[in-house]
Structure 1
Amino acid sequence: MQQSARVLTHPAFARQRFREITGRPDPALDLVEASLVIALEDEPGIDIDRYLDRVNAWSDAVRERLEGSRHIERIVDSINKLLFEEEGFHGEDEDYYDPRSALLHATLDTHAGLPITLSILYIEISRRVGVDVSGVSLPGRFLVKFSGEFGQLVIDPFDGGRVLSTVELQKLLDDVYGGGVRLREHHLRAFTSKEILARELAHLKSAYLARHDLPRAAASIDRLLILDANDPYELHDRATIAVQLHAYQEAIECFERYLALKPHAGDLARVREQIAYLRAWLEQN
């Protein structure tokens, strides 16, 4: 039987779709769809609808099991049973800087992933069954927080959906800071959907930089700048990569935007010198 040809999506179309999705109000922004579109630009042969159908089917299965229940423990148990017991999802970070580790479709294929991708899946299944849920970030671990009349419940999808106590949350901080930082409410601040996507793209950017894949690192920054066009640090990084890619006019524009946002930057003199050097090179070539 002849296999159907794989349909490839041009990166420009994936980029435009990402721009459209992230232009929606936060409550209407589907993290799974946006994450799959991030993957689509990097791997243009993936079938987004197939992955969305799979996530929707899992969500429907959880909804049926709940039978209308709004009891938070039952909701968490139902999601955990489906994802971690039946589907076998689990945390895996052996190759932390493999770019595929930050691409949601890879997590959906292998049923293994990083805290950020597993959390995105957990959040969107929860939202699809009508539960108020958000992402929170502690150093080295992205988590899921349920909020309501019951208070708040913090879940670790990387560890099989385990419910974390205050003591366990403190231990996550201690593992990084050696006991020097006490857990405060701001550590459990709810991330917006755009902030979650930014965290995913930041990991992707780091993974590509670790592999010296500058064009794809630049593409990751470009999407970060769609989420926040006035992030001076991403503009600086984008300019630096543009120089390495010999895209000097683009580098100048990014450096100038960086200085407009940070007129008293500590590296002001060096950046001005770099802009002058690049302008001189362009005039002579």
Structure 2
Amino acid sequence: MLCTPYCVPAAAMASPTFPDHCFIRYDHHHHHDHKDLRRWRIRTTTAATSASASAYPLFSNQIQLTKDSSSRHKFYQEALKTARDKFTREISIQSKDKDISLAKALLYVAAEDEAFMAFNQEMDTRSLLNERRNVSSPSDTKEWDSVEQMPLGGKTISEWLSELDAIAKEVEAELVSRDIGCHLVEVLEAVNLVLFELRGFKRSPVLVDSKHSYLHSILSSGCGSAILLSIIYIEVCRRLGLTIVGSRVGGDFLIWPQTGYPEELFKVTSGHSLFAIVNGRCVEDPRSMASDLTGTSLLGLEIATNRDIIGIALANLIRLHWKRASRSNHGLMLTSPLRHVHNADEKPNKIDKSNVPLLRPQDLRLAIMASERLLILQPHNWALRRDHGMMLYYNREYGKAVQELSICMAFAPEEEAEILEPFVEKLHLMRLELSWKSLGHAGRLAVP
């Protein structure tokens, strides 16, 4: 089923010791010139280091780990920037929407998030090694020259794109084996057979695992969010020369082949309409708005652009990572602090650092990263910018939060700006107070 819910709303080193067989003769130095003395020091230092590495195996490992970690640390930082730059170029407003690759854009999203999580894991490993000598260093020290070479679930970005090519070739092989022409119905039936029967793709009922929201993970496991399954469907059909379009319908996202005769999509053959073949049971579910669609009403739907579809996937990522980040604060809403500050009758009517709930930092940062990408697509979306500013507030990035929320007030409706204004003012004052304390000043300011 390809309908999708849409919701817009992270060394302690051992001291080197000299080997027992190395004797230091103070009286011997006076009979050597400076060159001999320098040679002696080099031999002594080399022997001492060798003995220390032998006596403490982690000594040499930690040195190597520091070098490897530093190199990987640099790569991850570069990967974060490169992946974001490539995503930005892919969805650039200068590009024609039809030329945007949904798969490439979302694989760059995955690459940036993977690099961020790998960076965090690397930092955790380094901290652990500094605290406990008996922890062995990572055995995989392979480095990559570019984001394209960085493995995502064991494959590179180009290899995942080739996986979509392979699925399309399987569909072609299925059509050849049937010895039939390329009639629209047969092509779609072959696509469904390969994706949902032979390869076993299925929709995840509840999105709790972030792996179900990344394209490469779904191509690997076969289980994921409905919007990403729709994207896979679109990408496979594109490789077959068939254009698939889509639109939001209530809480679902529906897709269908582009045709000048939409009424043909609703003709029932073999017990199902072509529209149902593509979108699954949601079309026949009386609880879904899709069940009321006809060839006429289909023409009235607004076709989603490629940028819109990418935006839906990013919005789902924000929702997922925020839910995971706030797991210990069940029901926490991004906008809750705004209402408390705006309403003078509610307590507490102030914000301070101690009132900000603790959230899972990695998931919160991933939600912020997804929000940053979505803002590239929708820079004038005031609600999105408000939510982004609130996530920065929860992440205790008060300066950035003030900046984003101030920009939001310029685009927001008047009634929303009135709610934001007192919160931004108090957040600005709190930021000034914290910056004053960071300079070593305590207590209140006194006027001389």
Query: Considering only aligned residues, what root-mean-square deviation do their CA atoms show, in Å?
Result: 2.9
- Alpha-carbon distance between aligned partners in 1 of 2:379 and 2:220, rounded to the nearest angstrom: 32
Q: If the length of structure 2 is used for normalisation, what is the TM-score?
A: 0.55
Flag structure 2 segments of 5+ consecutive residues without an equivalent: 1-71, 116-150, 267-271, 326-362, 436-448
Which residue of structure 2 aligns with residue 246 of structure 1?
A: 396
- Alpha-carbon distance between aligned partners in 2 of 1:116 and 1:229, rounded to the nearest angstrom: 22
Which residue of structure 2 aligns with residue 210 of structure 1?
A: 323
Deviation, structure 1 residue 174: 8.4
Which residues in structure 2 correspond to 1:254-273 (within 5 Å)? 254-264=404-414, 266-273=415-422
* Structure with the bigger percentage of strand: 1
Which residue of structure 2 aligns with residue 75 of structure 1?
A: 187
Deviation, structure 1 residue 60: 2.9
Which residues in structure 2 correspond to 1:18-97 (within 5 Å)? 18-23=87-92, 24-44=95-115, 45-46=151-152, 47-63=156-172, 65-66=174-175, 69-93=181-205, 95-97=206-208
Which residue of structure 2 aligns with residue 138 of structure 1?
A: 249
- Alpha-carbon distance between aligned partners in 2 of 1:188 and 1:216, rounded to the nearest angstrom: 32
Mark the structure with the bigger radius of gyration: 2
User: Quick one: structure 1 residues 92 and 281, their matched pair in 2 at CA, closer, same or farther if it must change by over 3 Å?
Assistant: closer
- Alpha-carbon distance between aligned partners in 1 of 2:215 and 2:408, rounded to the nearest angstrom: 31
Q: Counterpart of 1:259 in 2: which secondary structure? A: helix
Which residue of structure 1 aligns with residue 289 of structure 2?
A: 173
- Alpha-carbon distance between aligned partners in 2 of 1:230 and 1:255, rounded to the nearest angstrom: 13
User: Quick one: structure 1 residues 236 and 186, their matched pair in 2 at CA, closer, same or farther if it must change by over 3 Å?
Assistant: farther
Checking the alignment, whether the CA contact within 8 Å between 1:90 and 1:112 is kept in structure 2 is yes
- Alpha-carbon distance between aligned partners in 1 of 2:107 and 2:401, rounded to the nearest angstrom: 29
- Alpha-carbon distance between aligned partners in 1 of 2:173 and 2:211, rounded to the nearest angstrom: 32
- Alpha-carbon distance between aligned partners in 1 of 2:308 and 2:248, rounded to the nearest angstrom: 10
Q: Counterpart of 1:61 in 2: which secondary structure? A: helix
Deviation, structure 1 residue 164: 6.5
User: Quick one: structure 1 residues 63 and 25, their matched pair in 2 at CA, closer, same or farther if it must change by over 3 Å?
Assistant: farther
Give, as a single letter, the amino acid of the residue that structure 2 aligns with 1:222: E
- Alpha-carbon distance between aligned partners in 2 of 1:42 and 1:102, rounded to the nearest angstrom: 12
Alignment length (residue pairs): 269
Deviation, structure 1 residue 149: 3.6
Checking the alignment, whether the CA contact within 8 Å between 1:84 and 1:160 is kept in structure 2 is no
Flag structure 1 segments of 5+ consecutive residues without an equivalent: 1-5, 176-181
Deviations 1:171-220 (A, max 9, x none): 41289xxxxxx644477432111111111111110111111121111111
Checking the alignment, whether the CA contact within 8 Å between 1:242 and 1:251 is kept in structure 2 is yes
Aligned match for 1:194, one of 307, 310, 322: 307
Deviation, structure 1 residue 160: 7.9
> What percentage of aligned pairs have identical amino acids?
25
User: Quick one: structure 1 residues 189 and 174, their matched pair in 2 at CA, closer, same or farther if it must change by over 3 Å?
Assistant: closer
Deviation, structure 1 residue 85: 2.0
- Alpha-carbon distance between aligned partners in 1 of 2:281 and 2:301, rounded to the nearest angstrom: 12
1:277 partnered with 2:390: no
Deviation, structure 1 residue 86: 1.6
Give, as a single letter, the amino acid of the residue that structure 1 aligns with 2:214: L
Give, as a single letter, the amino acid of the residue that structure 2 aligns with 1:210: K
Checking the alignment, whether the CA contact within 8 Å between 1:147 and 1:153 is kept in structure 2 is no
Checking the alignment, whether the CA contact within 8 Å between 1:136 and 1:145 is kept in structure 2 is no
Which residue of structure 1 aligns with residue 120 of structure 2?
A: none
- Alpha-carbon distance between aligned partners in 1 of 2:419 and 2:189, rounded to the nearest angstrom: 55
Checking the alignment, whether the CA contact within 8 Å between 1:115 and 1:141 is kept in structure 2 is no
Checking the alignment, whether the CA contact within 8 Å between 1:137 and 1:187 is kept in structure 2 is no
Q: Counterpart of 1:136 in 2: which secondary structure? A: strand
- 231-240 or 271-280, which deviates more: 271-280
User: Quick one: structure 1 residues 195 and 174, their matched pair in 2 at CA, closer, same or farther if it must change by over 3 Å?
Assistant: closer
Q: Counterpart of 1:148 in 2: which secondary structure? A: coil
- Alpha-carbon distance between aligned partners in 1 of 2:427 and 2:260, rounded to the nearest angstrom: 58
Which residue of structure 1 aligns with residue 82 of structure 2?
A: 13
- Alpha-carbon distance between aligned partners in 2 of 1:29 and 1:80, rounded to the nearest angstrom: 24
Aligned match for 1:231, one of 381, 391, 396: 381
Deviation, structure 1 residue 263: 4.7
- Alpha-carbon distance between aligned partners in 2 of 1:194 and 1:169, rounded to the nearest angstrom: 28
Deviation, structure 1 residue 262: 1.8
Checking the alignment, whether the CA contact within 8 Å between 1:92 and 1:114 is kept in structure 2 is yes
